[in-house]
DNA sequence: ACACTCGGGACTGCCCGTTAAT
DNA sequence: ATTAACGGGCAGTCCCGAGTGT
């Protein structure tokens, strides 16, 4: 899949249709047949863009991550720009929930892929996704440290990892009992985060 | 499936074979055909005991939980018996790792089922499993409180839930990057646990 | 199946449940499982009364025929009793429609069995059913002849056969296009019948 | 299924094999497995051409109808061509028996489908088949009227419908008791036909 | 580069019927 | 007379690749 391929209208369509279908039917019931019907693309066409159904799903997930990344970079730019006074907490309030509270599609795809991790390609994508998240989070902590909001002696990367452990836990819990656990509030998340920070040097 | 059915030799065999096969091939590649070949049972026989492949997997998981439960009860009996001086920590050391460090089959099945939670029956089993774990953990905390090891003002159930959130997170992380995250040691787990206890009243 | 068996409460129940289920779901979707669920009988119990699912269906059909037979005999009794003046036409008007206009279950079962006639047992039952119908009809014509309503030179049996050929045709047509063919009125049927009578000596 | 698909060698093969198999084993015992074995086609290949086993059978039936249609058109051409002197009766003698005396496969498939008419698709095909037959017959009667062999005051379509009712009846009877009812002779059929014509205006 | 038809093979779940035991 | 346990066949679904055209 070349770079240029990524921008093909049909490929974009494919991704959108897939996302929409997963949203409606869930991953398991989203068959190639359904995607074919909805998109008008043929099986051959789909497999021209993508090596497997799982990879297709993974690409949808990646696209979602891209979006978050862009928003993050914008926020970072503002935060690091001394001219603009954006407290770190603002980032937390706007951005973190998106990462955590993924009731939406990313979460569904994520756990679908997790169950298919015996496919090497999937495992790889999953690991990438994880590293990417950690990276994002790390950077964010570092900025906090620069601003003096987070103690500088912390290992940013380790802290990020710790934090994400909890986030994963929250996601699982939400999947198991969606109503039992109320959606995480900004406040909870924030306090949790600082708690993680202070607690462990691990 | 009546209670008596559970003890049928063939049913026990079925569970064992399934467990073994999952261990070797993973959930996705564990086909009914393979189980049929290995166990010598026919498809009809299997479906006599079980309503679907997913339910079969879920039953293996439940059986594993049963084992843990029994061990737990034994431990509790010793812990509550004043004659026998078994410090609470012993439970933690022996039992908790089993719950958390499930590199083994339970974890694999768990995440397989999580990806199939759109099947109502599976969702149900998953919720049961969760509640069951929380229950176990709650009881364990309460014993700790009776022995004065754990502060009595804590809400045992909430604490247990908190704790398990983290445990789930650990499991996910281990699945994504098995080598990145080193196996959780007893000490870590114990400290984590007490940390959770102290931290939140949430 | 002994004679006594036929009166067993469970057997009666079985027949009723089956009939009801066929009425709701049609023959093809009426599975043994469904009948088991509804009746509370186990598979073994059912197979104690009946040799196969097809035979079960056939028995329901036979039971229906029994009912018609009884009504017929009552009518015949009245018709042959000189004291009671019941014109032959009364029989025609009340009884024939039941035989012909079987939008109801008998028709459904009949054609279901027809498609399974390669099973010797079914073929046999079907033939019985046919002969039985002809017999009934023959007797009816003969009564008509005794009363002078039907010309005596007709071969009652052949006429009955001819008549039924047409009736079968009507049933098929009704199944293929239920709305196209309007329900046969008493008048039509009666005229058809007399027409058949007059027409062929064949 | 596009028009071109219909001429694919494999599709033609599929139809032929299916027909042959039904001829040998009957509809119920004609399994996909058997067709796969005989044709060498895979299940995927078959389901590429056809949506279900029933549809496959229906297509065989349609193909048979096509054949009759072509023969009919040839005959019609000769009959309407004043140069060629072909009495109408010739058509009747050669063609009608084919329609009626279907001891062969069409009849078997027809009643198989009739028992599966709860599938909407099948019901549709069945209705088509019926209309098609009526159309054919209607045209044939009209030609007869033009040639002065059949009284012009008859409603051709209604007469055709009446006629087919009887034909269906004959088919059923033949299926129930093949030996009881001797194969319909040309003479019988012809007489029946004219009888139908004269009798009803209905 | 892009698209599609055709085809292959694996797998699940369903369903009917049988048998051993009681 | 009734049940649980069991066997095995079948249809339909699905993912995917091979070959073809454009």
pLDDT in tens, D36-70: 999 999 999 999 999 999 999 999 998 888 888 88
pLDDT digit string (tens) for A35-77? Answer: 998 888 888 888 888 888 988 998 888 888 878 777 777 777 7
Q: Model pTM?
A: 0.85
The answer to whether some atom of strand E lies closer than 7 Å to the beta carbon of A63 is no
Mark yes or no for CB contact D167/C169 under 8 Å: yes
Q: What is the DSSP string of C55-87?
A: HHHHHHHHHHHHHHHHHHHHHHHHHH-SSS---
Q: What percent of chain B has pLDDT over 70?
A: 71
Instruction: Kindly report the length of chain D.
Output: 202
Q: Please determine, for residue B101, whether its predicted confidence score (pLDDT) is greater than 90.
A: no
The answer to whether some atom of strand E lies closer than 7 Å to the beta carbon of B53 is yes
Q: Please determine, for residue D86, whether its predicted confidence score (pLDDT) is greater than 80.
A: no
* Whether the Cβ atoms of residue C102 and residue C172 lie closer than 8 Å to each other: no
B21-35, B96-110, B121-135, C119-133: lowest mean pLDDT where? B96-110
Among the partner residues A167, A176, A195, nearest to B169 by beta-carbon distance = A167
- Count other C-beta atoms under 10 Å from residue D112's C-beta: 22
Q: List the A44 CA – F22 C1' distance (angstroms).
A: 14
Task: Give me chain A's average pLDDT, please.
Answer: 76
Min Cα–Cα distance to chain B from A173, Å: 7
* pLDDT value at residue B98: 62
Q: What percent of chain B has pLDDT over 90?
A: 21
Q: List the C41 CA – E19 C1' distance (angstroms).
A: 18
The answer to whether some atom of strand E lies closer than 7 Å to the beta carbon of A119 is no
Q: How far, CA to CA in Å, does C66 sit from each of A155, A170, C124? A: 89, 67, 17
pLDDT digit string (tens) for B11-60? Answer: 999 999 999 999 999 899 999 989 999 999 999 899 999 999 999 999 99
Q: List the C128 CA – F20 C1' distance (angstroms).
A: 59
Min Cα–Cα distance to chain B from A29, Å: 9
Residue B16: closest CA among B56, B68, B75, B69? B56
Q: Angle D198-D162-D140 (CA atoms, 0-180°, nearest 5)?
A: 75
* Whether the Cβ atoms of residue B16 and residue B63 lie closer than 8 Å to each other: no
Residue C95: closest CA among C147, C23, C27, C143? C143
What whole-number distance in Å separates Cα of residue C107 and Cα of residue D25?
Answer: 26
* pLDDT value at residue A189: 60
For A101-123, b/e burial (b = at least 16 CB within 10 A) is bbeebbbbbbbbbbbbbebeebb
Mark yes or no for CB contact C172/D114 under 8 Å: yes
Q: What band does A202 get if pLDDT is binned at 50, 70 and 90? A: very low
Q: What band does B74 get if pLDDT is binned at 50, 70 and 90? A: confident
The answer to whether some atom of strand E lies closer than 7 Å to the beta carbon of A98 is no
pLDDT digit string (tens) for C144-166? Answer: 777 776 778 888 888 888 888 88
* pLDDT value at residue D178: 67
* Whether the Cβ atoms of residue A108 and residue B115 lie closer than 8 Å to each other: no
Q: Per 3-state DSSP, what percentage of chain B is helix, strand, and coil (rounded to 5)?
A: 75, 0, 25
- Count other C-beta atoms under 10 Å from residue B183's C-beta: 11
* Whether the Cβ atoms of residue A173 and residue B168 lie closer than 8 Å to each other: yes
Task: Give me chain B's average pLDDT, please.
Answer: 77
Kindly state the average pLDDT of the residues A155-167: 82
* pLDDT value at residue D22: 95
Residue of higher predicted confidence among C38 and C177: C38
Task: Please indicate whether chains C and B are in contact, defined as at least 3 beta carbon pairs under 8 Å.
Answer: no
Residue C151: closest CA among C194, C188, C189, C191? C194
Q: What band does D9 get if pLDDT is binned at 50, 70 and 90? A: confident
- Cβ-Cβ contacts under 8 Å between A and B: the total is 90
* pLDDT value at residue B79: 65
Among the partner residues C111, C127, C199, nearest to D195 by beta-carbon distance = C199
Q: Please determine, for residue D100, whether its predicted confidence score (pLDDT) is greater than 80.
A: no
The answer to whether some atom of strand F lies closer than 7 Å to the beta carbon of C41 is yes
pLDDT digit string (tens) for B113-148? Answer: 999 988 888 888 888 888 888 888 888 778 777 777
Mark yes or no for CB contact C166/D165 under 8 Å: yes
């Amino acid at each position: 899949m070349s770079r240029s391929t990524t921008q093909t209208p049909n490929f974009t369509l494919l991704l959108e249709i897939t996302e929409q279908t997963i949203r409606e039917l869930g991953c398991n019931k989203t068959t190639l047949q359904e995607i074919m019907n909805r998109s008008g693309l043929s099986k051959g066409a789909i497999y021209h863009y993508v090596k497997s159904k799982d990879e297709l799903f993974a690409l949808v997930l990646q696209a979602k991550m891209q979006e978050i990344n862009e928003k993050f970079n914008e926020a970072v730019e503002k935060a690091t720009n001394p001219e603009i006074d954006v407290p770190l907490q603002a980032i937390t309030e706007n951005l973190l929930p998106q990462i955590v509270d993924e009731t939406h599609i990313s979460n569904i795809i994520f756990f679908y892929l997790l169950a298919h991790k015996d496919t090497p390609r999937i495992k790889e994508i999953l690991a990438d996704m994880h590293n990417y998240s950690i990276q994002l989070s790390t950077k964010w902590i570092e900025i906090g440290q620069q601003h003096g909001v987070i103690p500088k002696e912390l290992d940013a990367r380790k802290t990020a990892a710790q934090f994400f452990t909890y986030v994963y836990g929250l996601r699982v819990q939400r999947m198991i009992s969606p109503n039992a656990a109320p959606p995480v509030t900004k406040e909870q998340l924030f306090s949790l985060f600082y708690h993680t920070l202070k607690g462990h040097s691990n």
